[in-house]
Amino acid sequence: MNGLRKRARSLWSALPQNEKRQFNRHLRAIYDSHRNRLPPDMHGRLERELASGLTRMKRGRALRRTQDGLVVRWRGEEGKICSVQMRSWTAGACRRILPIR
């Protein structure tokens, strides 16, 4: 991914419009999930929090953005919707999770 990251802009501008549409239709979600990385200090913090049990990873779907966080439906917990309050959008650190339903 590092090699592609350096050339992505020039590769994209060289693609014909129909190939850009095809990429967006079939590969955009996969590309977006791999192209961004956490800064090294945040990555280290996340690894420490996961190892200590302070942070858990859960799959879910963001339903909408609120003024101070997100409304999320967690996978495997159908019918349960929560408001996830964030300290900042860039850090992405959860303060607390409040059940909505």
pLDDT band at residue 87 using 50, 70 and 90 as cut-offs: low
For the chain, what is the mean pLDDT? 77
Report residue 32: phi and psi, to 5°. Answer: -60, -35
CA 53 to chain CA centroid, Å, is 20
* Segment 14-43, tens digit of pLDDT: 999 999 999 888 888 777 766 667 778 888
Query: What's this model's pTM, rounded to 2 decimal places?
Result: 0.43
Q: How confident is the model at residue 52 (pLDDT cuts 50, 70, 90)?
A: very high
